Amino acid sequence: MVNRLKKKWSDEEIKFLIENYTTMTCKEISKHLNRTTKSVLYQFHKLHLNNNYGKATIPNIGDTINQLTIEEIYLKNIGSQNKRFVKCKCSCGQIYECLLTKLVNNIIKDCGCIEQTRPDMLGENNRFYKHGKSFDRLMSVWSGMITRCNNKKSISYHNYGGRGIMVCDNWLEYLNFYNWAMANNYQNNLTLERINVNGNYCPENCKWIPYAEQYLNKRNSRKITAWNETKCLIEWFRDERVKIDNNATFEYRIKAGWTIERALSQPARKLSRSY
């Protein structure tokens, strides 16, 4: 015999429970669904329903609570639980969705419009306001620079702070770094480059350059000597004498015993496929 307490509740049973818990007693619901009273009470707790059946004050569609008018009440599966959500229209005209319990218990009173228009929450009047640029890409560049140099737990610390590379005192304040970046032609497609790879992060040793150009200034950039010239491989790919454009082809040819000049100057074969 299946244990009525442990048997999984079906969507139809949950729907019946939600639709009738304000008009039927726990015993009536358990008898109708062939469930134990304990199982019904457990499901009540799981769905965050008010267990004062006859006394529960459940809002209806069209009711207004604080600034929100209910337009729809529906079930939504959150993890392994079915919870009741409401779709509301705020007094400002915005459509907002939230948990019914948060609306009934006054945890949510509006769509957020009142909070955003409060004088004490605007810009510099907000006690948490610093510079208003927390989500800028430039903030991420600055934060990464500070982390690499100061945080010993950073995966890149040994290449920066561990080598004695520091951020100058002036740039420890984000607005100072921001002002320098704006005055030195910062763009979102550029990256911060130290002119001297062993020097610190400071205005005298930094500039904005394209990502491809930064590769040339890395300490581990591979140098290739061909035709009595020594360049990084990425620089060779720009040379008119070079007929390949990727590192994989070059490496394959060198491992096969080709000379460097031949590996660079011979065009790659175009393979024809037959299907």
pLDDT digits (tens, 9 = 90+) for 203-221: 999 988 876 666 555 555 5
Q: Is the pLDDT of residue 129 over 60?
A: no
pLDDT of res. 221: 59
pLDDT score, position 121? 44
pTM: 0.40
* b/e 98-120 (16+ beta carbons within 10 angstroms → b): ebbbebbeeebebbeeeeeeeee
Whether pLDDT at 1 is above 60: no
Mean pLDDT check: name the lowest of 22-26, 58-62, 101-105, 189-193. 22-26
Q: Where in the chain is the domain with CATH 2.40.10?
A: 11-104
Q: Which of 16-25, 48-57, 173-182 has the lowest mean pLDDT?
A: 48-57
What is 11-104's CATH number? 2.40.10
Under the banding of pLDDT at 50, 70 and 90, the label for residue 122 is: very low
Band of residue 2 on the pLDDT scale cut at 50, 70, 90: very low
Flag whether pLDDT at 56 surpasses 50.
no
Burial 152-166 (b: 16+ CB within 10 A, else e): eebeebeebbeeebb
CA pair distance 136, 178, nearest whole angstrom: 10
- Highest-confidence segment of 26-30, 42-46, 234-238: 26-30
Question: What mean pLDDT comes out for the span 155-165?
Answer: 89
Q: How confident is the model at residue 147 (pLDDT cuts 50, 70, 90)?
A: very high
Q: Which tops the pLDDT comparison, 235 or 199? A: 199
Q: Which range is least confidently modeled, 11-20, 124-133, 149-158, 253-262? A: 124-133
Single-letter code of the amino acid located at 169: D
d(CA 51, CA 105): 15
**What pLDDT digit, counting tens, does each position of 63-115 carry?**
888 888 999 888 887 767 778 888 898 888 888 888 888 887 777 888 777 65
